[in-house]
Structure formats: structure tokens, C-alpha cells
């Protein structure tokens, strides 16, 4: 065997995979497929990337495989960074989208030379996902700046109850009619929902308060009945009574100290 391939074979047999990769990388491009298979089998991606300059096709192929591996692990942002570093911009864009990094996804779209219409479609798609994640402010930025659909941006802001930002856009574009058609109805609906919520909370509070009062009265009556109960004259019973009272006091102090923060709350 050729010297480097011989050393690779020995190191692989001994399961010294990092050294094996180092020797195999010196065996020429005809052995690169074998090199890449070993990298995938043993998850030696980081070590493999150190063996090739970043400008080579081998580096790009290793990065591609590494990014796919990270995607399988649902590590989308890390995968995107690996793709982007190797100039695999299309896969980087998809990975950045899956990770929620819409700013970086737009950067990758720029590197891919997206047209204005294609960029607008991408921004609208990402805005929809952001709304689903309750990120209305970020969705509005995409709609206003990349699709030029400021009306939709205002509606998204109203949906997210971002009243001041919605007002800013309304006045920026001179669309005071939206105040009557959308803004005021949205605020009134939000007010109605808040009042219903407060009413339900008040009802629950009063119910629990009444129940607490009943429980306290029952406990007071139970204590009074215990005090009225006379024990027979028996030294053993007196001893048990004293011991029990000490244990009870200790337990009560312990319980109180543990639940003090809850009582304060």
C-alpha cells in the first residue's frame, strides 16, 4: 500500500479515527469519497474541516454533510452558519428560516441575488410564521420594509396589541382613516376582553375568599371543642399530651417557615 493509505488503514483498525482521517486526506482526491464516508460514520466533521482549506471543494462538501447532520439534530442555526461559511447560501437560507433568524435569512437572499418580487414573497412568508409565533412587531417590519404593504403591517400590529407602533405607521403614511376603520374597533375589543377577564378573576377571588372565611370559622370551632374536651386524670396521658403539643408546635413552626413566602404572596 501507499504509505499514507497504509497508515490510514492501521489507524482505522485501531479506531484512531482522527489520525486515520489525517493520513487519508493526503491520499489524493480519488480517496475523498472514502474520507467523507468515514467522517459521516464517526461524526468527525470538525476534525475533517481542519484538514482542508476553506476555498476547496472538499471543504464545501464536508460542510454540506455537516450542515445536513446538524439539521437532522434540529440544530438549525448552527447548520445555517456552517452552510453560510461554505457559501452554500440556498441551504443556509432555509436553515436560518427554520431557526427563526429572519434577518440572516434576508442576508442569504441578498447573496443569492433575489429579485424584488422574490424577496417580497420570502418576507411575506416569514412574516406569516412570525405572527404564528406571536412576534407581531418583527412581522410588521418585514411587511412594511420588504413588501411595502404598510396596511397589512398595521393590521398585524393591532392583532398584537402594539398600539403605539400601529399609530406611528398610521401617521407616517397619512392614513388617519384607519383610526376609525380598524384602530378604534381593535382597542374597544381589547378593552372588552380585559374587562371580561377582570370580571372572571374577581368572581374567582370572591369565591375563594368566602371559602377561606368558612374554613377559618370551622378551624376555630374545632379548636374550641378540643379545649372543652376534658381528659381523665392519668399521668401517662398527661405525658402523651405534653409530648404531642411539643411535636405539634415544632411541626407548625416548620410548616410556617417553609410556607412563609407563599403566605406573604
- 255 or 53: whose pLDDT is higher? 53
Mean pLDDT score, 39-59: 94
Structure confidence at residue 1 (pLDDT)? 81
Task: Say if residue 143 is exposed, middle or buried (CB neighbours under 10 Å; 0-12, 13-18, 19+).
Answer: buried
- Asked whether the beta carbons of 70 and 79 are under 8 A apart, the reply is yes
Task: State the Cα–Cα distance between residues 23 and 51, nearest whole angstrom.
Answer: 10
Q: Are 128 and 142 in contact (CB under 8 A)?
A: no
Which of 43, 41, 80, 53 has its CA nearest to residue 64?
80
- State the average pLDDT over residues 40-58: 93
Kindly report the CA angle at 215 between 205 and 211, in degrees rounded to 5? 25
Q: In this structure, how many other beta carbons lie within 10 angstroms of the beta carbon of residue 7?
A: 19
What pLDDT score does 254 carry? 53
State the pLDDT at residue 220. Answer: 86
Cα separation, 243 vs 250, whole angstroms: 11
**Residue 236 above 70 pLDDT?**
no
pLDDT tens for each residue of 67-113:
999 999 999 999 999 999 999 999 999 999 999 999 999 999 999 99
Residue count of the chain, please give it: 265
Check whether 235 has a pLDDT greater than 90: no
- Please tell me the distance from the alpha carbon of residue 191 to that of residue 185, in angstroms, as a whole number: 10
Name the one residue in this structure whose C-alpha cell is 382597542: 187
- The confidence band for 217, taking pLDDT boundaries of 50, 70 and 90, is confident
Contacts of 129 (CB under 8 A, 6+ apart): 97, 100
Q: What is the pLDDT of residues 105-148, one digit of tens each?
A: 999 999 999 999 999 999 999 999 999 999 999 999 999 999 99
Q: Helices (DSSP H) in the chain: which residue ranges?
A: 3-13, 17-24, 32-42, 45-49, 57-72, 76-85, 89-99, 102-111, 116-132, 136-146, 150-159, 163-172, 177-178, 184-228, 235-258, 260-264
Domain residue ranges of the chain, discontinuous segments joined by +? 115-211
Q: What is the 3-state secondary structure (H, E, C) of 59-115?
A: HHHHHHHHHHHHHHCCCHHHHHHHHHHCCCHHHHHHHHHHHCCHHHHHHHHHHCCCC
Q: Is the pLDDT of residue 187 over 70?
A: yes
Grid cell digits, residue 94: 432555509
Per-residue confidence band for 2, with pLDDT thresholds at 50, 70 and 90: confident
Look at residue 251 and tell me whether its pLDDT is greater than 70: no
Residue 174 pLDDT level (bands cut at 50, 70, 90): very high
Question: What's the average model confidence in pLDDT over 14-23?
Answer: 92
Cβ distance 143 to 150 under 8 Å?
yes
Residue 260 half-sphere exposure, CB side, CA atoms within 13 Å? 6
pLDDT surpassing 90 at residue 259: no
Q: What is the mean pLDDT of residues 15-19?
A: 92
Question: What is the model's pTM?
Answer: 0.70
Amino acid at each position: 500500500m501507499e504509505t499514507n493509505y497504509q497508515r490510514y488503514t492501521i489507524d482505522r483498525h485501531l479506531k484512531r479515527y482522527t489520525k486515520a482521517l489525517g493520513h487519508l486526506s493526503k491520499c489524493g482526491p480519488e480517496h475523498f469519497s472514502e474520507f467523507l464516508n468515514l467522517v459521516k460514520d464517526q461524526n468527525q466533521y470538525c476534525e475533517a474541516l481542519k484538514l482542508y482549506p476553506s476555498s476547496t471543494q472538499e471543504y464545501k462538501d464536508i460542510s454540506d454533510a455537516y450542515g445536513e447532520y446538524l439539521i437532522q439534530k434540529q440544530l438549525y442555526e448552527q447548520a445555517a452558519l456552517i452552510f453560510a461559511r461554505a457559501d452554500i447560501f440556498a441551504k443556509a437560507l432555509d436553515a436560518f428560516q427554520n431557526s427563526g433568524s429572519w434577518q440572516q435569512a434576508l442576508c442569504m437572499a441578498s447573496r443569492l441575488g433575489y429579485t424584488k418580487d422574490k424577496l417580497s414573497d420570502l418576507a411575506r412568508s416569514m412574516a406569516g410564521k412570525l405572527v404564528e409565533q406571536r412576534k407581531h412587531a418583527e412581522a410588521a417590519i418585514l411587511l412594511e420594509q420588504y413588501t411595502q404593504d404598510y396596511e397589512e403591517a398595521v393590521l398585524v400590529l393591532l392583532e398584537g396589541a402594539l398600539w403605539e407602533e400601529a399609530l406611528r405607521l398610521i401617521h407616517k403614511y397619512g392614513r388617519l382613516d384607519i383610526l376609525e376603520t380598524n384602530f378604534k374597533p381593535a382597542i374597544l375589543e381589547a378593552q372588552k376582553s380585559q374587562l371580561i377577564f377582570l370580571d372572571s378573576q374577581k368572581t374567582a377571588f370572591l369565591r375563594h375568599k368566602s371559602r377561606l372565611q368558612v374554613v377559618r370559622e370551622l378551624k376555630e370551632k374545632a379548636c374550641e371543642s378540643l379545649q372543652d374536651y376534658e381528659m381523665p386524670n392519668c399521668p401517662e396521658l398527661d405525658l402523651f399530651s405534653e409530648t404531642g403539643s411539643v411535636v405539634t408546635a415544632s411541626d407548625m413552626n416548620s410548616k410556617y417557615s417553609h410556607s412563609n413566602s407563599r403566605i406573604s404572596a
